[in-house]
């Protein structure tokens, strides 16, 4: 790392979206695939799932290191009490957005920060609520065709044209909707004595 007072920082993720978000705070990090089974446990609730997986991802990468701070994160969308995953196909994306039309979807993002040297682990779950406006079938088809959000939970990209699908957004940190709550992350880093605002000074 180029800053002597900034410890090595690792992102336990292969997500391009999370890399882009973390790069807003600092370019000085390395992304590593955590190699974690993301399947839910029997009867596991959404909040418990994202919390467990965020920690598991951070732990998987931390186990390969001798020092530094490791960030783990996981996200699910919850609609009508059910976990909604990535659509992967156009037909699934149409079905998801048709369900969401005029309704509310809650996104839960688990965040974990592990200090490799001390083995300390901080974790939080950040909720964010999306209220969809009433969507016509033509709008749904046009949106999917234009932005192709097939690798996004909920079938939209809020940082792009997906914002046109919403009536309102409710939450503390809009970055959490994309997959990494930066406000909470900076808090966890400061708890470890790392302030990215002053790290280079």
- Of the candidates 160, 61, 148, the one whose C-alpha atom is nearest the C-alpha of residue 113 is 61
- Amino acid 158: pLDDT: 85
Tokens 């004595």 locate to 193
- Of the candidates 82, 65, 71, the one whose C-alpha atom is nearest the C-alpha of residue 122 is 71
- Of the candidates 128, 179, 150, the one whose C-alpha atom is nearest the C-alpha of residue 23 is 179
Mean pLDDT, the chain, rounded, equals: 93
Whole-number Å distance between alpha carbons of 94 and 126? 27
Task: Reply yes or no on whether the pLDDT at 55 is more than 80.
Answer: yes
- Cβ neighbourhood burial of 73 (10 Å; 0-12, 13-18, 19+): buried
Task: Reply yes or no on whether the pLDDT at 71 is more than 70.
Answer: yes
Q: Quick one: tokens of 167?
A: 């009536």
- Of the candidates 154, 148, 142, the one whose C-alpha atom is nearest the C-alpha of residue 178 is 154
Tens-place pLDDT, residues 14-51 = 889 899 999 999 999 999 999 999 888 999 999 999 99
Residues 82, 95 contacting (CB under 8 angstroms): no
- Which positions are annotated as active-site residues? 74
Does the predicted model carry a pTM greater than 0.85?
yes
């Amino acid at each position: 790392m180029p800053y002597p007072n900034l410890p090595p920082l690792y992102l336990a993720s292969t997500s391009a979206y999370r890399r882009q978000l973390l790069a807003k705070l600092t370019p000085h990090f390395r992304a590593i695939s955590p190699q974690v089974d993301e399947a839910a446990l029997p009867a596991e609730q959404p909040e418990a799932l994202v919390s467990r997986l965020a920690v598991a991802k951070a732990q998987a990468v931390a186990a390969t290191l001798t020092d530094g701070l490791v960030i783990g994160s996981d996200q699910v969308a919850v609609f009508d009490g059910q976990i909604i995953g990535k659509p992967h196909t156009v037909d699934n994306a149409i079905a998801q957005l048709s369900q969401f039309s005029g309704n509310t979807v809650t996104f839960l993002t688990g965040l974990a920060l592990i200090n490799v040297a001390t083995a300390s682990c901080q974790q939080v779950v950040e909720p964010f609520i999306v209220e969809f406006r009433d969507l016509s079938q033509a709008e749904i088809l046009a949106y999917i065709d234009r932005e192709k959000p097939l690798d996004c939970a909920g079938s939209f990209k809020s940082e792009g044209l997906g914002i046109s699908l919403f009536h309102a957004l409710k939450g503390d940190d809009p970055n959490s909707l994309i997959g990494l709550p930066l406000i909470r992350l900076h808090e966890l880093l400061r708890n470890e004595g790392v302030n990215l605002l002053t790290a280079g000074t």
